[in-house]
Structure 1
Amino acid sequence: MAEAALAPGGPARRRRRSWVPYALLAPGLLWLAVFFVAPMVTLGSQSLQEGNVYDGYTLTGNVGIYADAVGKYWPHLLRSVGYAATATVFALLLAYPLAYFMAQKAGRWKNVLLVLVVAPFFTSFLIRTLAWRTILSDTGPVTEVAQALHLTDLLQLLHLTNNDTLLSSKFAVIAGLTYNFLPFMILPLYAALDRLDPRLVEAAGDLYASPWQAFRHVTWPLSLPGVVAGTLLTFIPAAGDFINSRLLGNTQTVMIGQVIDSQFLRVLDYPLAAALSFVLLLMILGLVTAYVRRAGTEELV
């Protein structure tokens, strides 16, 4: 019996192997527990407290604060989702042709283009957003060209700007969100399109499919994993962003992230800020779950 237990492939070795996956998972699980689960529990507890920063807070189980938070700030929640969804759509429209060109047509320039896509990450998010204030300034060339082409008039008709300028408007906030999160859309799309076998498109052409039909029935379905991953990576951080709305927007473009930041750091109403954070989390989780189910979970494989 002892020899059988110690033999290669015996019970002792099988038991040892069964613990290996758990040992490999332990560091990641510990990281999540310390930096995700513990802060979430603390935030949830804080949202159910009452009091003030001077006298202290007491856990009273005040669930009514969630109704108060939604009732007072529901326009900011909807605005955040709307801006994030719009920026995600624009990012997809911009990223898909670029990712396709990089993956299928760039040849030896592929790595250079990848570096150019990733290069903005070497600059602070704040600095990149501040740069857009210069780009969209009232006296800058972009605004002057837009005015000359009457694009600002069109943006006013679409209620994206309030006057003949681009800065401090819905347009500026959405443009900033689109730019800042564009790489998160490009990279998953590139990864999916780079795996695409061009012979499949050639086969579709041999079967008398037009370029549009080949794209619709071959390229697009095979790139859906990248589309799903890219839209999630873009929408989720964009919905909680507050830098773009603060630096590029106005009082009519305040997003929920900016409200949460203000409640935490200026108003010092910690329970309300925590409740708003949880409401935003649950809203995004619900939207993402519905989207993944609609797209099909197998697309994430």
Structure 2
Amino acid sequence: MAFAAFSSSTAPAPAESVRKTSRVALLLLLPGILYLVLFFLTPLISLLITSFKTPAEFGDIGEFSYAFRWQNYTDVISTYWPHIMRSFGYALAATFFALIISYPLAYFIGVKARRWPLLQSLMLVLVIAPFFISFLLRTLAWKQLFSDESFLVTSLKAVSILAPDAHITGTAFSVIFGLTYNFIPFMTLPLYTTLERLDVRYLEAGSDLYASPFHVFRKVTVPLSMPGIVAGTLLTFIPAAGDYINASREFLGGTSTQMIGNVIEANFLVLQNFPAGAALSIILMSVILVMVGFYVKKSGTEELL
């Protein structure tokens, strides 16, 4: 009895233990919360406020006053709707082509190459290798390869695949190609991490049940790799929709291929129309959030959000 009384008097109360754990967890989370507030929430609020500003009555170019001018949104939509539609069209096309290219590559590395660890490691290094080279340098390299004076273009014209006055740079093809090429690693790596954990016994069971390879792929492999497909498409589509490097005239794009990222850059850095640039940025983020939420819900992978 005395021992029980002593134990009960010295043991901490459950409620007090929970409070101590909560305080420790809050202290551990505090640096991350402060970082998000300082570098994400504060700029987002500033961007939202800027999107409603109005030009100063007696100010110079680039001077604006605080207001609630919601017409900024209607103005940029009516002016730049072709750029908005083009951006999402290019991003969807690049995401589709990246998936078509990356899935067989990730499947080979994650499933077929398991028996050869050295080959698996080598191919993973080759997938990651582009990250060691600047994004700008890689895009500039393709600009040189697609230029009118390059060996590739002159050869295609010599065999009449391209018309004598045809160009590759400055076209939708070159922009979508650049987006696809630059974001293939973002598609391949999530697919690989999912397929690498795939239990091949499921595939063998499908074959034992007399299913064709295509049906095994469609009914077993694809559903089990859906988290990787969703993660890869999101990691590709979101940055591709806001990209402004590939579509710029200095790289692979031209006047007719400008995307919403190019318009935002021009409004902020050249035209100094900060409310228009901020409104376009808010529109871009909002449309992406809606599309991503709808896509994840339809794919049945809400846990990724």
TM-score (norm 2): 0.89
**Cα distance change on mapping 1:6 and 1:235 into 2, 3 Å:** farther
Q: Which residue of structure 1 lines up, in the alignment, with residue 66 of structure 2?
A: 59
Does residue 135 (structure 1) correspond to residue 172 (structure 2)? The answer is no
Does residue 105 (structure 1) correspond to residue 89 (structure 2)? The answer is no
Report which of the two structures shows the higher radius of gyration computed on alpha carbons.
Answer: 2
Counterparts of 2:18 and 2:262 in 1: how far apart (Å)?
53
**Cα distance change on mapping 1:149 and 1:36 into 2, 3 Å:** farther
Counterpart of 2:184, as a letter, is L
Work out whether residues 5 and 12 of structure 1, in 8 Å CA contact, stay in contact via their aligned partners in 2.
no
Structure-to-structure mapping, 1:1-301, within 5 angstroms: 4=8, 6-7=10-11, 10-51=14-55, 54=60, 56-106=63-113, 107-108=116-117, 109-147=119-157, 151-152=161-162, 164-246=166-248, 247-298=251-302, 300=304
Counterparts of 1:38 and 1:299 in 2: how far apart (Å)?
27
Task: List per-residue Cα deviations over 1:191-233 (Å, max 9, x = no partner).
Answer: 1100101111011100001111110111111001000000000
Counterpart of 2:238, as a letter, is I
Q: Which residue of structure 2 lines up, in the alignment, with residue 157 of structure 1?
A: none
The alignment of Structure 1 onto Structure 2 pairs a total of residues equal to 293
Work out whether residues 170 and 256 of structure 2, in 8 Å CA contact, stay in contact via their aligned partners in 1.
no
Work out whether residues 100 and 193 of structure 1, in 8 Å CA contact, stay in contact via their aligned partners in 2.
yes
Work out whether residues 227 and 301 of structure 2, in 8 Å CA contact, stay in contact via their aligned partners in 1.
no
* Structure 1 residue 31: Cα displacement: 1.4
Task: List per-residue Cα deviations over 1:91-137 (Å, max 9, x = no partner).
Answer: 00000000001101222211221111111111111111111101212
Q: Look up the SS of the partner of 1:268 in the other structure.
A: coil
Counterpart of 1:134, as a letter, is Q
**Cα distance change on mapping 1:22 and 1:6 into 2, 3 Å:** farther
Counterparts of 1:292 and 1:150 in 2: how far apart (Å)?
45
Q: Look up the SS of the partner of 1:244 in the other structure.
A: coil
5+ long unaligned stretches in structure 1: 154-161
Work out whether residues 188 and 227 of structure 1, in 8 Å CA contact, stay in contact via their aligned partners in 2.
yes
Task: List per-residue Cα deviations over 1:156-211 (Å, max 9, x = no partner).
Answer: xxxxxx95231221110000000111110000000110010111101110000111
Counterpart of 2:108, as a letter, is F
* Structure 1 residue 267: Cα displacement: 0.5
Q: Which residue of structure 2 lines up, in the alignment, with residue 159 of structure 1?
A: none
Counterparts of 1:278 and 1:116 in 2: how far apart (Å)?
36
5+ long unaligned stretches in structure 2: none
Q: Look up the SS of the partner of 2:177 in the other structure.
A: helix
**Cα distance change on mapping 1:188 and 1:16 into 2, 3 Å:** same
Alignment identity in percent?
A: 48
**Cα distance change on mapping 1:163 and 1:70 into 2, 3 Å:** farther
CA-atom RMSD in angstroms: 2.2
* Structure 1 residue 62: Cα displacement: 0.6
Counterparts of 2:13 and 2:239 in 1: how far apart (Å)?
48
Task: List per-residue Cα deviations over 1:44-87 (Å, max 9, x = no partner).
Answer: 11111112573732111111110001010000000000000000
* Structure 1 residue 6: Cα displacement: 4.8
Q: Look up the SS of the partner of 1:248 in the other structure.
A: coil
Counterparts of 1:149 and 1:212 in 2: how far apart (Å)?
38
**Cα distance change on mapping 1:41 and 1:2 into 2, 3 Å:** farther
Counterpart of 1:137, as a letter, is S
**Cα distance change on mapping 1:260 and 1:163 into 2, 3 Å:** farther
